[in-house]
Amino acid sequence: MKIYATDKGYTLSLKNNLERAIDEYLSNEIDRKFIQPENLESFKEQIKNKIQQLNLENKRCKPIIVDFWKYPGRNDYQLEGLEFTRFTIKEFESWMGK
């Protein structure tokens, strides 16, 4: 059975409050989470909606527009539009049984 896991990679220097808020959200709320395949699309939409909400809360900062990019030949996704961090959703074979 396949399952997805989130992975927040490196973080570069954060320039403003919006980048700090997004980095905090990715690090503290959704890093290292498991997602069932049937919930993947709604989980990706939840992330995009939360970043849109953070854009609205930080109106003085340049808005950050994000989308997911699918790796060719794999079922892994990377969150694009973030210059200060790397966030991926990776597919794994579940070790928890069927």
pLDDT tens digit string along 6-49?
999 999 999 999 999 999 999 999 999 999 999 999 999 999 99
Rounded to 5 degrees, what are φ and ψ at 65? -100, 125
Q: Is residue 8 part of a domain?
A: yes
Residues 54, 56, 57, 62: is their CA dihedral positive or negative?
positive
Q: Is residue 42 part of a domain?
A: yes
Residue 88's domain spans which residues? 2-93
Query: Cα–Cα distance between 52 and 13 in angstroms, integer?
Result: 21
* Structure-token pair, residue 66: 């994000």
Query: Cα–Cα distance between 23 and 83 in angstroms, integer?
Result: 11
Q: Is residue 49 part of a domain?
A: yes
With pLDDT > 70 as the criterion, what percentage of the chain qualifies? Answer: 97
Task: Reply yes or no on whether the pLDDT at 96 is more than 80.
Answer: no
pLDDT at 14: 97
Reference 8, options 94, 23, 72; nearest CA is 23
Q: Is residue 58 part of a domain?
A: yes
Asked whether the beta carbons of 83 and 10 are under 8 A apart, the reply is no
Number of structural domains found in the chain:
1
pTM of the entire predicted model: 0.91
Q: Is residue 36 part of a domain?
A: yes
pLDDT-derived band at 68, boundaries 50, 70, 90? very high
Q: Is residue 98 part of a domain?
A: no
